[in-house]
């Protein structure tokens, strides 16, 4: 296992979630603000259950080991939201590339 599941911090009170920006088969992605430093981030939230455990573990390993690649969004960390009547959620916190795209459009408009 790559993911330090039992040691992951709780994301409660760490983010202000604004809007859903993408949805896939196993996850939803939200634009959010990291409250500690006012940084805009993308939160990929997915259920950590037996069916998805292996793919989440592999994705975590890829993000952790290759986040410094210039063609990948920066990976800021991972959290676990414990649920009582549903599978726990794993939150991957990544660079919000949409913010960079919007900034580039604004700069282009100024020229």
Note whether 99 and 34 are within 8 A (CB): no
> What is the block-wise mean pLDDT of the chain (111 residues), using blocks of 10 residues?
89 95 90 95 95 93 86 91 95 83 57 52
pTM, two decimals, is: 0.85
CATH number of the domain bearing residue 56 = 3.30.200.20
Q: Which residue has the tokens 């330090």?
A: 4
Split into its structural domains, the chain has a count of 1
Residues 6+ apart with CB under 8 A from 58: 2
State residue 73's pLDDT score: 85
Domain ranges, residue 66 = 5-110
State residue 1's pLDDT score: 63
Measured CA to CA, the distance from residue 23 to residue 59 in angstroms comes to 16
State residue 69's pLDDT score: 79
State residue 9's pLDDT score: 96
State residue 90's pLDDT score: 97
State residue 99's pLDDT score: 57
**Sheet holding 88-95: strands in order across?**
15-23, 27-34, 39-48, 88-95, 75-81
State residue 103's pLDDT score: 54
């Amino acid at each position: 296992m790559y993911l330090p599941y039992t040691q992951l911090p709780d994301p409660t009170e760490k983010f202000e979630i604004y809007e859903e920006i993408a949805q896939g088969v196993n996850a939803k992605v939200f634009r959010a603000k990291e409250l500690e430093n006012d940084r805009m981030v993308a939160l990929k939230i997915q259920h950590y259950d037996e069916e998805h455990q292996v793919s989440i573990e592999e994705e975590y390993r890829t993000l952790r080991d290759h986040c410094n690649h210039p063609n990948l969004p920066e990976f800021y960390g991972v959290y676990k939201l414990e649920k009582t009547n549903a599978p726990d959620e794993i939150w991957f916190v990544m660079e919000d590339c949409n913010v960079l795209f919007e900034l580039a459009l604004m700069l282009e408009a100024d020229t």
